[in-house]
Each structure stands twice: as C-alpha cells, then as structure tokens.
C-alpha cells in the first residue's frame, strides 16, 4: 500500500486516562495543520521499533485549539501500537501524516457509536456545541459496560436527554441493556428522513446501516467511514 509523503513530527505535551483503558493525548500542533471535525490521520511512534507501523486515529480536539488531541483506546493485552502508545509520556514524539476521512457533519440527525467508534463524533459534537448548533442531534452510544463509556460527563452536559446509552454485557441502572438491533432502532428512531452517522466495529456499522436502510432511511443520508 502506498502512503502519502506528508509527515509532521509532534511532541506529546500531556497524557491522561479518560476511562480505564482510553487515553487522551495532547500534542503540539504543526503550523497551518488543519482538519475537519470527524477526520483522522495516520500516526507513527517516532522510534525505530515502530517506524513501519502506521495506525489511523481521529482528531478529537477542535481546529482553533492551540494543540492537537487524540482519544485512543489502549489494548495492553498484546505488544501492539496502542500498548506502546499507552506507555509514552510528555516529551516523546509521534509522526502525523495526511488528514483524511469521510465522516463529516452534513445535517441534523442521530449519531450511533460502538465503543471507541465514538471518536469521530467527539470533535463534531464539540464543534456543534461551541457553535450553539447541537439542535436535535442525538448520540446513541453502545458499550460493553458502564465503565467503558468515553466522555460520559461531557456528552451528558452537551446533549442532556439526547445522550442515549445502552450496555451489551452489563445491567446497570440507569442504562438500558440492549443490543442496537432492528427492534431497538425501530423504537428509538421515529424520523427516518434525518441523517445517520455510524461508527464502530465493521460488522456493527454494516448491520446498522443495512437495518436503517431496510426501515426506510435514505442510503445517501447514512454516513460511515470509507476506506
């Protein structure tokens, strides 16, 4: 696979856990480096061992911030890139590449996310909130357990009752314990003419997009990542 040549070496300014296995990375920002909320870039750890390992991550900060932010799930059960990322500290370097991504805000609708798949929606919803444009947008967020919910407090403050959570491997009040299937979508979605933004595991995205289309949603209004 051929990759674009654009490279930017950035320093980690700060890291912090946002859940038990998700970390926020605050990075220095290259001059004139811009992106649209929802977009991503390929990241490489600037160390000989990892120079050949590129991984895509979504920007979770906003363009007008003086730094970049990524919110990354750390898989520490094997010696992979995110495990190595999780061990990095302030002063360590990363290499960023071209900006890409097909998930952009096109209009009011329902955002549906599974686990770390919520990351493209973080910057989109933050930007809408900043611009007083959240309107009737909703976020339906599926996680295994309550402790896996990323940015629970922030989403709750931004969206209020339009922040809907469901858990698939735990029954914990006040959350529902249901899978996002046909019955769930039929119950939660009354307006099929709106936009739908879906991100999560590939099988989940495919199933939900297919189900929404079968229920009557227009394919042109179902927004997913394209590779």
Q: Dump pLDDT digits (tens) for 75-110.
A: 988 889 999 999 999 999 999 999 998 899 999 999
Burial class (CB within 10 angstroms; exposed 0-12, middle 13-18, buried 19+) of 68: buried
Model confidence pLDDT, tens digit, residues 103-132: 999 999 999 999 999 999 999 999 999 999
Q: Contacts by 2-5 with C-beta closer than 8 Å and gap 24+?
A: 3/42, 3/54, 3/97, 4/97, 4/98
Over residues 181-196, the mean pLDDT reads 97
* Domains within the chain, CATH numbers bracketed: 8-99 (2.40.30.10), 109-223 (3.40.50.80)
pLDDT of residue 102: 81
User: pLDDT band for position 195 (50/70/90)?
Assistant: very high
Residue 17 confidence (pLDDT) above 70:
yes
Beta pairing, strands 93-100 & 40-45: antiparallel
For residue 29, give the nearest of 70, 58, 62, 68 by alpha carbon. Answer: 68
Mean pLDDT of the chain: 95
Model confidence pLDDT, tens digit, residues 27-51: 999 999 999 999 999 999 999 999 9
Q: Write down the pTM of the prediction.
A: 0.95
């Amino acid at each position: 696979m051929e990759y674009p040549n654009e490279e930017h070496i950035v320093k980690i300014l700060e890291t912090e856990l946002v859940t038990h296995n998700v970390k926020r990375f605050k990075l220095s920002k290259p001059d004139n480096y811009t992106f649209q909320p929802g977009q991503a870039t390929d990241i490489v750890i600037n160390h000989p061992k990892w120079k050949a390992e590129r991984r895509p991550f979504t920007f979770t900060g906003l363009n007008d911030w003086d730094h970049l932010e990524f919110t990354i799930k750390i898989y520490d059960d094997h010696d992979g890139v995110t495990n190595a990322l999780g061990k990095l500290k302030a002063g360590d370097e990363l290499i960023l590449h071209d900006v890409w991504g097909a998930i952009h805000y096109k209009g009011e609708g329902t955002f549906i996310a599974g686990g770390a798949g919520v990351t493209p929606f973080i910057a989109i919803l933050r930007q809408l909130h900043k611009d007083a444009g959240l309107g009737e947008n909703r976020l339906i967020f599926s996680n295994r357990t309550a402790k896996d919910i990323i940015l629970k407090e922030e989403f709750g403050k931004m969206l209020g009752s339009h922040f809907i959570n469901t858990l698939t491997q735990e029954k914990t009040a006040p959350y529902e314990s249901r899978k996002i299937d046909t019955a769930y979508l039929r119950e939660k979605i009354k307006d099929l003419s709106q936009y739908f933004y879906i991100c999560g595991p590939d099988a989940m995205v495919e199933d939900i997009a297919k189900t929404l289309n079968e229920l009557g949603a227009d394919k042109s209004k179902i927004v997913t990542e394209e590779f």
